[in-house]
Chain A
Amino acid sequence: MTTNNPMRGLLTLTWFKTRSKVLGALAYALVLGVIYLASEIEMIQMMFFMACMIYFPLQVLAGMSENEGRWERFQVSLPIKRSYLLKAQYLSVTIAAVFGGIILTIGIGISTAINEQWFNYGFASAILSSLHLYGTAFLAIGLCFILSLFIGNFAAWIIGLLAPTLVQVLVPIIAERAGISVYVLSPSVFVGSVVIFVASYFIMKTIYEKVDF
């Protein structure tokens, strides 16, 4: 016989879920790393922009699209206070976002360090570019995670895609007015990123179906 501690049980599940998502983020970064190694130096910039699209493949990896609704219904029948369920949901999202963000940051940092061009822009430019690009990624991920709590995965993903697009457009305009140059993505990179996203989605789906995380 064990002591009843439902929050601990929920957090145990959260850990298993988060672990899948973090592994998913890692796999995603690896896919992009391969793209980087096989491509022109400019292609790595897609990684930043594509971060906005990371949420959906991660959801697929976590198996959420298929089973999460059923689990939501089932867990209400468990001997757990409703407030605990909500807390665990927010914790799960936050932990996943933090871990996903750390992995992305490391990936972005390594890629950026390799990219010598980055440093040729000067210190202020590097900081602004960094905020621009990192900010885009985290705004997207944060938005997707938070919005998915309220409006569902697909809608969150769409808004998560639109919001960083807006950032990508606005930051260079603001920077230009301030007289600071920042790295700006070209339309062809954007189109390329969408194509790669679709491909990476299917790669992720295949990984999820074939590999036990």
Chain B
Amino acid sequence: MSTILEVKGLNKQYKNSSFRLNDVSMSIPSGAIMGFVGENGAGKSTTIGCILNTLIKDSGTVTIFGREMTNDSTDIRDDIGVVYDTNCFPAYLTPTQIASAMRHMFSKWDDNLYLDYLKKFKLPEKQSIKAYSRGMSMKLNIAVALAHKPRLLVLDEATSGLDPIMRDEILDVFLDFVTDENKSILLSSHITSDLEKVADYITFIHDGSIVFTESKDDLIYKYGVMRCKAAQFEQLDKADILAFRKHDYQIDALINDRKTAEQKYRDIVIDNITIEEIMLMLVKGERANDNQ
């Protein structure tokens, strides 16, 4: 399986800001959807900006389709579809006018495919975007991104703000997209349920640093949460715990090897855990090692 996108040691610091992207690395194999998750301000959009070269990175390399992305890599960008969290086209344009510009910009632009998506998403071709709802304009942006047959789709919070039905429709489109094994998606979102539905891998970023990259199945089957009483928690080997959160009558401890923990701590309840809970535990929880 070849790698579509590889990011190595990416660093970026903004002027007059304490935020910095710190040694970010990740890779997306072909035919996979990578969920990129993190709280607001964690560094998702900055990472995507550096990948797409819309932001200037301080150091690190971004390799797409086996080649390093630079300012002049127009042929690489020809194979990338980008969707941001809001409509990016001037609001007075109509979908037809957008097509008449885009067909000259992308070498593989397909008018029929574009019209198919417009029909599928029920978007009026002659109506200006300013009359579109948020959901409609997001669908239009996705239609434009798909109509030039990209090999990599980069979506920065593209599903946020959409209702569940619309999100479900769009997620189905993404799943269709990666049925071709040569295509991949980088899907940045903080709607973790979307990622649980479609992602093959999850990369979690917090405070500018990558916390983990795992396959979704590993996260769901290997990670777990131990529901402990205070006395039980004291007995735990802290090396087994990634993070913990104290509640009124219980302490939840995040573990990444559920099978071993089930054998080791037979009297403690170990539940399945969602990506959202993992995210909350890692961001808001205390680190067991800090407490030692």
Interface residues of A (CB under 8 A from B): 1-10, 12-13, 16-17, 20, 62-64, 66-68, 70-71, 73-74, 76-82, 208-209, 212-213
Contacts and interface: CB of A to CB of B under 8 A. Distances in A.
A80 B105 contact: yes
Nearest to A12: B101
A82 B73 CA distance: 10
A12 B102 CA distance: 9
Main secondary structure, interface of A, reads helix
A172 B107 CA distance: 58
Nearest to B111: A2
19 contacts: A1-B108, A1-B109, A12-B100, A12-B104, A13-B90, A20-B92, A63-B92, A67-B89, A70-B84, A70-B87, A73-B88, A77-B52, A77-B80, A78-B106, A79-B77, A79-B105, A80-B105, A208-B92, A212-B92
A5 B71 contact: no
A2 B111 CA distance: 9
B83 to A, nearest CB: 9
Interface string B81-103: 01010111111110001001111
Contacts of B240: none
A63 B77 contact: no
Interface string B134-172: 000000000000000000001000000000000000000
B274 interface: no
A71 to B, nearest CB: 6
Nearest to A16: B97
B104 A212 contact: no
A210 B57 CA distance: 43
Contacts of B110: 1
B109 A62 contact: no
Contacts of A3: 107
Nearest to B79: A79
Contact of B102 (A9, A64, A66, A208): A9
A48 to B, nearest CB: 28
A82 B71 contact: yes
Contacts of A4: 78, 104-107
B53 interface: yes
Interface residues of B, number: 38
Contact of A2 (B77, B89, B103, B131): B103
B128 interface: yes
B164 to A, nearest CB: 25
B74 interface: yes
B78 A77 contact: no
Nearest to A81: B74
A144 B147 CA distance: 37
A25 to B, nearest CB: 15
B101 A10 contact: yes
A81 B75 CA distance: 10
A141 to B, nearest CB: 21
Contacts of A68: 90
A9 B107 contact: no
B284 interface: no
B267 interface: no
A62 B92 contact: yes
A54 to B, nearest CB: 18
B16 interface: no
A15 B232 CA distance: 71
B18 to A, nearest CB: 23
Contacts of A62: 90, 92
B130 interface: yes
Given A6-B104, A6-B105, A12-B101, A74 B75 contact: no
A76 B53 contact: yes
